[in-house]
Structure 1
Amino acid sequence: MTRPLLITDCDEVLVHMVRHFADWLDQEHAVDFSYNSWELAKNMRRRTGEPLTQEEMWAFLHGFFPDQMHRQTIVPHAREAIAALSKQADVVILTNLQDQCQTHRVEQLAAFGIPHRVVCNQGGKGTPVAALVAEYGPSVAVFVDDLPVHHQSVAEHAPEVWRLHMVSEPQLAAGIAPAPAAHARIDDWRQAQAWIEARFAAAEPAPPVEALATT
């Protein structure tokens, strides 16, 4: 019998990113960061008052990864939850980083006690999630991510996958509504572990989110 499959994001799911990114912007680039949106460019403003363009935001992100990844810290209870879940499921970390950062991410997560396969991606995550499901042929699959756009992408390309919206940074979570395309929103790994284990135990494909809303 095939095992379940857990596909999880990394930044703001397994490791904290924005708080350390904000510190770096403040210390090195005179850029202020607010926690008002999941769209990073909207949260960044130069000390002189000008907002940043999408192109400028991406330039700063590419400056942070991989050179500043040593600043990042693990999300509370993530290590323990992933270790427990990996005893019953295959685990893949699907992270939106450039391919040259893959080795850095593998080493970073291994140092935190999360030694699992890392797949780098650019753009929507629906297509790579569908590819991973086809590769593993799991009894059931669960996807965890902090960005609503990726839940929508997975809903379109791999609708049978359960989708859990998690935003582990408290300052960011407070201003982000639950992703409409996700089946649940849980920001704490202890509760998330129980929710994922229940999906594994049932071994049923995910229903449309609309069906959950009417039951």
Structure 2
Amino acid sequence: MTRPLVITDCDEVLMHMVVPFARWVDEEHGVLFRMEDASFAGALKRKECGTPLEAAEVWPLLDGFFRTEMGRQTEIPGAIAAMAAIGDIADIVVLTNVGPDHQAARGDQLAALGFHAPVIGSRGGKGEPVRALIEERRPSVAVFIDDLPNHHHSVAIEAPEVWRLHFVGEPAIADKVRPAKHAHARIDDWSEAQGWILARLAENIPAPAPQLV
């Protein structure tokens, strides 16, 4: 039987992102990041006039951050130790929406913390890449971890047998993000999340069919 599989996001799950990103866009681009709801793009406003950035302006800023500023990011407390414990019994793949251009840098970033795992730099919904990983690896049981509700919906559609944990490890935004409707649990602390994941792996049964409404 193949080993269990854990598919995890990186930003706000393994590494802090919005806080160092906010400092950088303020210092270098005159942009304020003030997250008042779950909208990331709507949180970016010009300092001089307060007007929100256009959607087309957001990705170039994110791309610039990941290209030159990933050294500003720090570990979500307990994340790497949890990955080590989980890695004793399961394979781990990092599925991160930094895109293919930053995939290698993300792997290097995590390796510098002592965490070595395959990294897939995707874009868009994560349901299809999760489905591809399940079909490739045929795990006995699988768990998906992400901070964004839309990815849990995507995975629920494409790979409903995968357990889905909604995790937002950045306290500055955790209370702005409602629990994902299509996740099986919402936990924002690794001391608790590790136990939940290990319990799902130990049970070794598929997730229940989701209610996609």
Alignment correspondent of 2:46: 46
TM-score by length of 2: 0.96
CA deviation after TM superposition for structure 1 residue 86, in Å = 0.2
Task: After the TM superposition, list the runs of 4 or more consecutive aligned residues in structure 1 that deviate by more than 4 angstroms.
Answer: none
Query: Aligned partners of 1:22 and 1:153: how far apart in 2?
Result: 27
Structure 2 residue 9 is the aligned partner of structure 1 residue 9: yes
Query: Aligned partners of 1:113 and 1:37: how far apart in 2?
Result: 34
1:45 is paired with a residue whose SS is strand
Alignment correspondent of 2:170: 169
C-alpha RMSD of the superposition: 1.2
CA deviation after TM superposition for structure 1 residue 210, in Å = 4.2
Paired residues of 2:160 and 2:210 also in contact (CA < 8 A) = no
* Residues paired across the two proteins, number: 211
Alignment correspondent of 2:103: 102
Moved more, 52-61 or 4-13: 52-61
Paired residues of 1:40 and 1:57 also in contact (CA < 8 A) = no
CA deviation after TM superposition for structure 1 residue 37, in Å = 3.0
Structure 1 portions without partners, runs of 5+: none
CA deviation after TM superposition for structure 1 residue 36, in Å = 2.2
1:154 is paired with a residue whose SS is helix
TM-score by length of 1: 0.96
Report Cα offsets for 1:7-44 as digits up to 9, x if no partner: 00000000000000000011111111112233211111
AA matched with 1:32: L
After TM superposition, the structure 1 = structure 2 runs for residues 127-142 of structure 1, keeping only pairs within 5 Å, are 127-142=128-143
Report Cα offsets for 1:51-106 as digits up to 9, x if no partner: 11111111111111121111000110001000000000000000001212111001
Query: Aligned partners of 1:180 and 1:98: how far apart in 2?
Result: 26
1:109 is paired with a residue whose SS is helix
Alignment correspondent of 2:204: 203
Structure 2 residue 60 is the aligned partner of structure 1 residue 59: yes
Structure 2 residue 109 is the aligned partner of structure 1 residue 73: no
1:130 is paired with a residue whose SS is helix
Query: Aligned partners of 2:39 and 2:63: how far apart in 1?
Result: 16
AA matched with 2:12: E
CA deviation after TM superposition for structure 1 residue 208, in Å = 2.8
Query: Aligned partners of 2:95 and 2:143: how far apart in 1?
Result: 12
1:181 is paired with a residue whose SS is coil
Paired residues of 2:35 and 2:42 also in contact (CA < 8 A) = no
Moved more, 36-45 or 86-95: 36-45
Paired residues of 1:38 and 1:147 also in contact (CA < 8 A) = no
Query: Aligned partners of 2:185 and 2:211: how far apart in 1?
Result: 12
2:92 is paired with a residue whose SS is strand
Q: Percent identity?
A: 54
